[in-house]
Structure 1
Amino acid sequence: MNDPCVEHFIQYLEGEKNASEHTISNYLIDIRQYCEVTWGEDARPPYKWKDVDRFTARKFLMFFQKLEMAPTTTGRKLSALRSFYKFLLREEYVEQNPFSGLNLPKKGSYLPQILSVTEVCKLLDAPEKFNEQQTTTNPKQKLWREYMVARDAAILELLYSTGMRINELVTLPEERIDLLSGVARVRGKGKKERLCPLGSPAERALAKNLELRENVWLLEGKKNVRSPVFLNKNGGPISARSIERMMKKYVLFCGLNAELTPHSLRHSFATHLLDAGADLRSVQELLGHASLSTTQIYTHVSVERLKEVYQLAHPRA
């Protein structure tokens, strides 16, 4: 943004907070929107951070509430600007934090969308069944399609087997996957690492993906010793957006809820573990949650499912 205060804040996030690129990008989005709402889209840095008062800060929040954005989104923007001004205050760029003391929007009750075990199995089988309906006589296309089926199956298996986030998956290098030990070393939020066990189906799917990936590289004639775990059609690393589109295709093919996303597999992973008797602390470690309270949402999901079963099965429910 070419603003000295923002540039200093980014250096602070990278150096002192060890924030990820994703986190920094979100901060910049919120700060840029704040500048546009406060000073207009034509305003140019450096911005007059000292001139902002509590009324201006409240006006920024009201702008997004009028757009009927989710309370979680508005709350994130408040947290981002509050942290930014806290830094400006510490570095004596400003004399007050106008966002300090403003209340977060009240969050509605939220339970994540999950798939049943049967639905998960149906989704994991979808790449192979979907491909059976496709035909081609082109040898190159046939080889690519064979790889794509293995890749899609491995991605879905990995998401459900480990519960990792989609951004953790697309940035996972091959050297962090140990098929012999059956674990993956995942770098999560705050660049914290955790070990994620791999289930046997995920191991087999990953091995097949890596084997067929080599065939694609040979076909393209450009073997790369540091090739991505999952290739896109151009031979580069597959993006998170491509995985979202891929899953949407299989969700619709299976006749499942169209609103399901790759993150729904993470929700399902946690809920199914708790349903089967896993303790909350272990699930917290597997998910890479910093706080146990974040993991506790899945206990509510399990209770809600128990209530549904009770209502359907009990004669006097």
Structure 2
Amino acid sequence: MAVVPPVWRVGEFVLSLTAASEATRRAYRSDVGQFAEWAARAGIDAPGDVDRRRLRRYVSFLSVRGLSGRSVARKASALRRYFGWLVRCGAIDVDPALGLAAPAGSGRLPRVLGAAEMCEMLGDGTVPENPSEMRDRLVLELLYGSGLRVAELCGLDRDGVRPHSAHVEVIGKGGKHRRVPLSEPSVALLAAWRDGGSEGFDAQRLRGRAGRDPAALFVNLRGKRLGTRDVQRILDRHAVTPTHPHALRHTYATHLLDGGADLRVVQELLGHERLATTQIYTRVSRERLREVYESAHPRA
């Protein structure tokens, strides 16, 4: 991506997103920067020259390029937030992005892993002796057993996890804290990780490398806090079929509803602000029931 001229104040806008995750800030920087590049090709040199018609044309341009409805909607959301910030800062007088709409998403249901696939991925529940395997298993247990987002998992600190506690405090979207219950295997793995496993990993894999993030509960082979790509590599090593880390969170929610959990409880566990966000999993659960019925009943 080309360097965006200072007049667009993209850096200042990103810094204003204090409650957003690092991933969201990166995405918004990219989204606004891409729009600024497109606008420059159309002869628009500053955000004050953007009008509603131009924004609608840009959204149509994104759709024609073949981007998914979800991606276009996120980019439109970034522009609404950006131009709203410019108005609040007094940089522009009129917000051209008010009510900017984007095509609806495809409605594709999230992938849910089966019980057999999860059992093969997570093993028999015993605590591995190898520190690297212990770290990987604990990461997978927290994603599925507690439904953590990847950013929440990577953001866990050593001091934030209490020994033998049945809960963990995480910082979710918007900087909101929530208390999440831990599965029994997670409790056992966390105890082992704190009681020598983490130090064993550092000695085995980091080989005394200086610069190990002292606060992070999990680090990669460079001693840095575990990141999204690191988590994907862990999953690639253990998953039976190609799987995205977020699929474990989808599976967590769907299995709870399959087991009779109340939708409001699942909403709280996932940290969803709106119940409508959680309700997609009721649809997933119904679809799964239908598949079982059609495959098992002779008159289906």
**Normalised TM-score (structure 2):** 0.87
Shift of 1:268: 0.5
Residue 289 of structure 1 aligns to a residue whose secondary structure is coil
Which one of the candidate residues 167, 170, 178 is aligned to 2:151? Answer: 167
The equivalent residue for 1:306 is 289
Other-structure match for 1:292: 275
1:173-212 to 2 correspondence within 5 Å?
Answer: 173-210=157-194, 211-212=196-197
Equivalent-residue separation in structure 2 for 1:216 and 1:249 (angstroms): 17
Alignment-mate amino acid for residue 28 of structure 2:
Y
Aligned to 2:114: 116
Alignment of structure 1 residues 84-233 onto 2, 5 Å: 84-125=82-123, 146-210=130-194, 211-218=196-203, 220-221=207-208, 226-233=214-221
Whether 1:20 aligns to 2:14 is: no
Range with greater deviation from structure 2 (119-128 or 226-235): 119-128
Q: What one-letter code is carried by the residue in structure 2 that aligns with 1:87?
A: W
Q: Residues 231 and 27 of structure 1: is their aligned pair in 2 closer, same or farther, counting only changes over 3 Å?
A: closer
Q: Distance in 2 between matches of 1:185 and 1:310?
A: 39
Which runs of no fewer than 5 residues in structure 2 stay unpaired?
none
Question: Equivalent residue for 1:237?
Answer: 225
The aligned residue for residue 250 of structure 1 is: 238
**2:295 counterpart of 1:315:** no
Q: Percent identity?
A: 37
CA gap 1:90/1:314 in 2 versus in 1, 3 angstroms? same
Of stretches 267-276 and 212-221 in structure 1, the one that deviates more from structure 2 is 212-221
Give the alignment's Cα RMSD to 1 decimal: 2.7
On the 8 A contact 2:113/2:248 being kept in 1, the answer is: yes
Structure 1-normalised TM-score? 0.83
1:150–1:209 CA contact under 8 A, matched in 2 = yes
Task: Describe the superposition over 1:123-145 as per-residue Cα deviations: whole angstroms up to 9, x where unpaired.
Answer: 112999xx9xxxxxxxxxxx9xx
Give every structure 1 segment of 4 or more consecutive aligned residues whose post-TM-superposition deviation is greater than 4 Å. 221-225
Say if 2:263 and 2:278, in contact at 8 Å, map to a contact too.
yes
Q: Which amino acid aligns with 2:25?
A: I
Q: Judge conservation of contact 2:220–2:226 (CA < 8 Å) in 1.
A: yes
Distance 1:22 1:233, change over 3 A: closer
Residues 294 and 234 from structure 1, CA distance in 2 versus in 1: closer, same or farther, beyond 3 angstroms? Answer: same
Counterpart contact for 2:167–2:182, Cα < 8 Å: yes
In 2, Cα distance between the equivalents of 1:93 and 1:239? 35
Deviations 1:28-69 (A, max 9, x none): 11110100111049x9xx951121122321222122212211
Contact 1:213 1:231 in 2 (8 A): no
Q: C-alpha distance in 2, partners of 1:230/1:30?
A: 30
- 1:227 deviates by 5.0
Aligned residues: 291
SS at match of 1:238: coil
Give the SS at the match of 2:174.
helix
Structure 2 Cα separation of the partners of residues 175 and 209 of structure 1: 13
Structure 1 counterpart SS, 2:54: helix
Q: Do 2:148 and 2:270's aligned partners in 1 also have CA atoms closer than 8 Å?
A: yes
Q: Report what 1:6 is aligned to.
A: 10
Structure 1 residues 63, 126: CA separation in 2 closer, same or farther (over 3 Å shift)?
Answer: farther
SS in 2 for 1:296: helix
Structure 1 residues 29 and 156, CA, compared in 2 at 3 Å: closer, same or farther?
same
**Partner residue, 2:51:** 53
Q: Does the CA contact (< 8 Å) of 1:230 and 1:237 recur in 2?
A: yes
Structure 1 segments unaligned to the other structure (5+ residues):
132-142
Shift of 1:97: 2.5
Give the superposition deviation at 1:11: 5.0
Change (3 A) 1:13 1:221: closer
